[in-house]
Amino acid sequence: MPEPHSHGHIEFNWLTGGSMDYLFGGEACTIRQNRLVAFWAGIPHQTVALHEAGDARQLNIYLPMDAFLEMPQLGRLTETLMGGAIIQLAPECIGLETLERWHGDYRSGNSLRADLVRTEIGTMFRRAAITGWDVLLPAWVEQAAGGRTRTGSPVRYVVRMVRHIVENIAEPLSAQSVARVVGLHPNYATNLFTKVMRIPVQKFVTRVRLIRARSLLFDGSLSIANVAFQSGFVSQTQFYEHFRKAYGMTPSQMRKHTIEG
């Protein structure tokens, strides 16, 4: 990888052999074989060396940040990843066979298979939240004075803002109302959010509403109008416009596609 890059996902890496050297936020970290490693890819990261053995492979899966933050009962795991840690999950949380299935589902282009992967990742994270994890690189929020120079406080603010959005997605949400949750000046809060999440507050709100709408559509028991309302869209017209732009089909077409397989 010629230079560091970042993107708005939780990234998972698994090496079937050898090891890989990373620069993560400017700091060195080595990832070794046969353990699942997870980190927030919003922090600039770069592979600087790959030490493969024989026919070893590298498997990568990417979970959207908003989908991760919607997962319940993760406790400190959420802030650990959002705070910039690289963690390694215990063998009882995930094995190669499951990961290879996820890898195929994730790259299939089938939205239902991708949703199954997200559900199963949520279960894996809940197990990790109970059994614990190994830290390969500490989170900013857990690092004592010295060492890493950046502060975890801004990340904590963003985590609180995102959680507020997810928990109140059916209510009116303006950038100003989200900023009030953390007691910051609206301009500072929204600029901080955009810098950390790589997306403006209002676009992120729309993205979470679409995720909620898709979930409700799969349930199948609500009318399209109620799906739009419970996802926080002010009108069906607005809902259809955003949905078609995001998924290339209407909500009715997606529901029909889901039912018919």
Per-residue pLDDT of the chain (261 residues; tens, 9 = 90+): 678 877 768 999 999 999 999 998 788 999 999 999 999 887 778 999 888 777 888 899 999 877 887 787 787 788 788 777 899 999 999 999 999 999 999 888 888 898 899 999 999 999 999 999 999 998 754 443 344 434 445 777 887 888 788 789 899 999 899 999 999 999 999 998 888 777 899 998 998 888 788 878 877 688 999 999 999 999 999 999 999 998 889 999 888 776 555
Domains with residue ranges and CATH for the chain: 9-141 (2.60.120), 152-261 (1.10.10.60)
Check residue 174 and give its pLDDT.
92
What Cα–Cα distance (Å) separates residue 166 from each residue in 79, 107, 179, 205? 15, 26, 14, 8
Nearest-Å Rg of the Cα atoms of the chain is 19
Q: How far apart are CA 23 and CA 247, in angstroms?
A: 34
**229: enclosing H helix or E strand:** helix 224-230
Amino acid letter, 34: N
Output the pLDDT for position 147: 42
What pLDDT is recorded for position 250?
A: 92
Give the integer Cα–Cα distance in Å for 114 and 62.
Answer: 11
Q: What's the confidence (pLDDT) of residue 56?
A: 83
